[in-house]
């Protein structure tokens, strides 16, 4: 009697079982991964703006010139929506609007689709301006960011004090929402 040679490999049942296990693991891992990516994008946006504010302040002081940080959709001129991006330039005439001859120092890209970024300042100017001594032009206030989900618990605030120093808002009352310098919770106005 002749025996068949032994063939190594996997059976159809073993392959189906492996694919099923991989599908279950992928289904379980996908939501946390999406949340991780969203959280990373939110934190990156905060760090970019924080660094840009510090850079603006340092440039104004080290170069002895007025620097203006304003919202900009096109990277060339100031607009009104901070969510569409920002522009830092040497503001030689100090008017808060970029003239063609004024040098652009940095451009910040727009926020994620659906996210909102608002500048709320003491004197209600649409821009943030640093004088040659590194101080703001009486513009203490805060940048309030709401992520695309518009959940205040996932947003952040950057507070600018009277000397122009930025710092991230904290959750002092442990309710899961950061507060501004005046102690008010971040509110996301576009929440459903």
Residue 188, in any domain of the structure: no
180's tokens: 């501004």
Domain enclosing residue 80, as ranges: 12-168
pLDDT at 86: 97
Residue 174, in any domain of the structure: no
Which residue from 73, 81, 103 is spatially nearest to 91, judged by alpha carbons?
Answer: 103
Instruction: Tell me the three state secondary structure of residue 98.
Output: coil
Residue 119, in any domain of the structure: yes
Residue 5, in any domain of the structure: no
Residue 29 has pLDDT above 80, yes or no: no
Residue 185, in any domain of the structure: no
Residue 6, in any domain of the structure: no
Residue 178, in any domain of the structure: no
Read off the CATH number of the domain in which 134 is found: 3.55.40.10
CA angle 133, 138, 140 (to 5 degrees): 105
Structural domain count of the chain: 1
What mean pLDDT comes out for the span 88-110? 96
Going through the chain in order, the beta strands assigned E by DSSP cover: 67-71, 86-90, 104-108, 116-121, 128-130, 141-146, 156-160, 166-168
Confidence class for position 190, pLDDT limits 50, 70, 90: low
Residue 156, in any domain of the structure: yes
């Amino acid at each position: 009697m002749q025996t068949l040679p032994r063939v190594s490999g996997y059976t159809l049942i073993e392959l189906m079982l492996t694919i099923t296990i991989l599908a279950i693991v992928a289904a379980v891992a996908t939501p946390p991964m999406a949340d991780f990516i969203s959280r990373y994008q939110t934190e990156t946006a905060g760090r970019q703006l924080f660094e840009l504010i510090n850079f603006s302040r340092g440039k104004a002081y080290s170069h002895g010139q007025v620097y203006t940080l304003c919202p900009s959709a096109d990277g060339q001129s100031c607009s009104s929506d901070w969510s569409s991006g920002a522009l830092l330039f040497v503001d030689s005439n100090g008017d808060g609007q970029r003239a063609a001859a004024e040098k652009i120092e940095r451009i910040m890209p727009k926020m994620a689709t659906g996210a909102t970024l608002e500048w709320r300042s003491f004197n209600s100017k649409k821009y943030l301006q640093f004088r040659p001594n590194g101080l703001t032009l009486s513009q203490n206030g805060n940048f309030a960011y709401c992520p695309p989900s518009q959940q205040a618990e996932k947003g952040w605030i950057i507070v600018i004090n009277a000397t122009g120093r930025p710092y991230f808002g904290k959750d002092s009352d442990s309710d899961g929402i950061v507060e501004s310098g005046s102690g008010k919770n971040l509110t996301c106005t576009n929440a459903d």
